[in-house]
Amino acid sequence: MTNKNEKRIGLTYRDAGVDIDAGNRSVELMKQHVRSTYRPEVLGDIGGFGSLFALNCAKYKQPVLVSGTDGVGTKLEIAFRLGRHDSIGQDAVAMCVNDILTQGAEPLFFLDYLAVGKLEPETVAAIVSGVAQACKESGCALIGGETAEMAGFYRPGEYDIAGFAVGVADKDKLITGQQIKAGDVILGLPSSGLHSNGFSLVRKICFEIKSISPATFVPELEKTLGDELITPTRLYPKVVLPLLDQFEIKGMVHITGGGFYDNIPRVLPQDCAVQIDAASWPMPPVFGMLQRWGQVAWPEMFRTFNMGIGMMLFVSEAEAGPICDALKAAGERCYRIGKVTQGSKEVTLQGGVFGG
């Protein structure tokens, strides 16, 4: 047994840049946030080699697990520049739970992976607090995760975060898009802003072309540039899940990387196309600002960003009105943004900046 008073001989893990004690402190700081997300199905506690979740099979006739994984991308640089880390975790959660929601899945649990250059326990706790809060708002448990200190791999103050979500849906209630047909209506749910996509272009426009600081106040945004860019991705589960018990949602699209042109075709049957009226919803000012500052063509804007619509619902003409009414009664905004036509998965935008 080594006496603590003895002179240390040889290299240690800390000498190589990995501080196990800091890792343990990080776990202690995040425990309260993690436990606050637990659902009744969670078994055990923090610290196991695996996380346990007892699926309530009695609730489903034929339960199908739906999983998704994603990261935050280069939006992380905004958090680095601002030194604000308490909301970026919501982006990691939202990108995953919104994806699995499109297939009708209720999010059950979430795991995160956080890699850092040097482990700062307070920063890690701030990041995880954002993850935990987003999990609570989405109704899922933060059931596990991994924090990896990778000395010399990331620059000081930098990190990466990714997430993994698992949800469940009854097999006969899975939303696949195969029931979509010509004449159906597309309803749009507003985004909170840029969400977590297109930030390589955002950073080039703002920091290279315009050379402005995140601390700069932008009058048309009525806030600083940094406050706008760090706004977290909106969480849609608690908005959409109640609708699934009342209405037939034929398809859903989460507008992420690829914007309108690449995401919408993913849910369309082979014989369907879509016409979008770009004047049917109020486009948040940040998108017009980026378009002007970068002289970006409008089709490229709609292929890169969500343009103010984060989630689309494909529904019948008969149910479009009642669904909008239900959303408005719940305090949510909803826009009738397009229709389904005969075609071969084409996406056509008209109105607004596209004319017509």
What would the pLDDT profile of 287-343 be if each residue is shown by its tens digit?
A: 999 999 999 999 999 999 999 999 999 999 999 999 999 999 999 999 999 999 999
Angle between helices 88-101 and 121-138 (to 10 degrees): 30
- Residue 136 clears pLDDT 90, i.e. is over it: yes
Residue 225 to residue 206: CA distance in whole angstroms:
9
**Which residues on neighbouring strands pair with residue 142, listed in sequence order?**
110
Q: Which of 16-30, 62-76, 109-123 has the highest mean pLDDT?
A: 62-76
Q: Which of 110 and 4 is assigned the larger pLDDT?
A: 110
Share of the chain above pLDDT 90, in %: 77
Query: 35-49, 133-147, 203-217: which range is least confident on average?
Result: 35-49
- Residue 228 clears pLDDT 90, i.e. is over it: yes
Q: What is the mean pLDDT of residues 342-346?
A: 97
- Residue 180 clears pLDDT 80, i.e. is over it: yes
Q: Where in the chain is the domain with CATH 3.30.1330.10?
A: 14-173
**Domain 185-354 -> CATH class:** alpha beta
> 170 near 60, Cβ under 8 Å?
yes
- For the beta sheet containing 63-71, the strands, ordered from the edge strand earlier in sequence to the opposite edge, are 63-71, 159-170, 106-116, 141-149
pLDDT at residue 7, as a whole number: 60
> 106 near 237, Cβ under 8 Å?
yes
Residues composing the chain: 356
pLDDT at residue 344, as a whole number: 96
Q: What is the mean pLDDT of residues 275-284?
A: 97
> 310 near 320, Cβ under 8 Å?
no
> 236 near 95, Cβ under 8 Å?
no
The band of 219, judged by pLDDT with boundaries at 50, 70 and 90, is very high
- For the beta sheet containing 251-254, the strands, ordered from the edge strand earlier in sequence to the opposite edge, are 251-254, 309-315, 185-190, 335-342, 272-277, 347-350
pLDDT at residue 1, as a whole number: 45
Q: For residue 177, which amino acid is it? A: G
- Residue 3 clears pLDDT 80, i.e. is over it: no
As a whole number, the mean pLDDT across the chain is 92
Q: Which residue, among 188, 186, 192, 187, has the nearest Cα to 287 in the 3D structure?
A: 192
Q: Where in the chain is the domain with CATH 3.90.650.10?
A: 185-354
The structure's pTM equals 0.92
CATH of 14-173, one of 3.30.1330.10, 1.10.287.3510, 3.40.50.720, 2.40.110.10: 3.30.1330.10
The band of 45, judged by pLDDT with boundaries at 50, 70 and 90, is confident
